[in-house]
Amino acid sequence: MRQYFILFIFGIILAFSSCRTDFDTVASTGNLKFSKDTVYLDTVFKNIGSSTYQLKVYNRSKNDISIPVVQLKKGLNSKYRMTVDGMSGNNGKIFNNVTLLAKDSLYIFIETTADITDADPTDFLYTDEIQFDSGSNLQEVALVTLIQDAVFLFPTQNPDGTKEKIQIEGKDVDGFYLAENDPVNGNELIFTKQKPYVIYGYAGVPENKTVTFEAGARVHFHANSGLYVGDKASLQINGTTSATDKLENEVVFEGDRLESLYSNIPGQWKSVLFASGSANHIINYLTLKNAVTGLDFKNPYNTVEIKNTQIYNCLEYGILAQNTHIIGENIVINNVGIASLSCVYGGNYNFAHCTFNNNWTNSSHFAVNLSNKLAGKTPETNPLTQATFNNCIIYGSSTNEFNLDKNLNTAFVYQLNNCLLKFGTTSNPDYQFKTDTEHYNQIILNENPKYYNVSKNQLNIDKTSAAFAKGNPAYIIPKDILGITRTSPPDLGAYQSKDFPK
Residue 54 shares a structural domain with residue 182: no
Mean pLDDT of the region 65-92: 94
Which structural domain, as residue segments, surrounds residue 94?
Answer: 24-148
Mean pLDDT of the region 252-261: 91
> Tens digit of pLDDT for each residue in 426-475?
999 999 999 999 999 999 999 999 999 999 999 999 999 999 999 999 99
> Tens digit of pLDDT for each residue in 273-297?
999 999 999 999 999 999 999 999 9
The residue from 101, 125, 148 where one domain ends is 148
pTM surpassing 0.75?
yes
pLDDT for the residue numbered 218: 97
Residue 44 shares a structural domain with residue 177: no
Residue 313 shares a structural domain with residue 185: yes
The residue from 148, 163, 188 where one domain ends is 148
Task: Name the domain count of the chain.
Answer: 2
pLDDT mean across residues, the chain: 92
Residue 198 shares a structural domain with residue 313: yes
CA distances from 350 to 156, 201, 238 (A): 41, 33, 21
Phi-psi region of 483 (alpha: psi -120 to 50; beta: other; left: phi over 0): left
Q: Is residue 111 part of a domain?
A: yes
CATH classification of the domain holding 144: 2.60.40.10
Residue 229 shares a structural domain with residue 92: no
DSSP secondary structure string for all residues of 384-419: EEEEEEES-EEEESSS--EEEE--TTS-B--EEES-
Q: Point out which residues pair with 83 in neighbouring strands.
A: 109
How big is the CA angle at 384 (ends 381 and 387), to the nearest 5 degrees? 150
Residue 92 shares a structural domain with residue 179: no
Q: Is residue 501 part of a domain?
A: no
Residue 225 shares a structural domain with residue 334: yes
- 301 Cβ partners below 8 Å, 6+ apart? 232, 277, 278, 279, 280
* Cα–Cα dist 18/24, whole Å: 10
Q: Is residue 42 part of a domain?
A: yes
Query: φ, ψ for residue 230 (rounded to 5)?
Result: -80, -175
Mean pLDDT of the region 216-228: 96
Residue 200 shares a structural domain with residue 339: yes
pLDDT for the residue numbered 7: 47
The residue from 96, 115, 148 where one domain ends is 148
Q: Band the pLDDT of 21: cuts 50, 70, 90.
A: very low
Residue 119 shares a structural domain with residue 209: no
Residue 355 shares a structural domain with residue 463: yes
* Cα–Cα dist 67/75, whole Å: 17
| pLDDT for 305 beyond 50 | yes
* CA-CA-CA-CA torsion sign (231, 282, 322, 315): negative
Q: Is residue 7 part of a domain?
A: no
pLDDT for the residue numbered 502: 67
Closest by Cα among 498, 494, 495, 497 to 352? 494
| pLDDT for 188 beyond 70 | yes
pLDDT for the residue numbered 47: 85
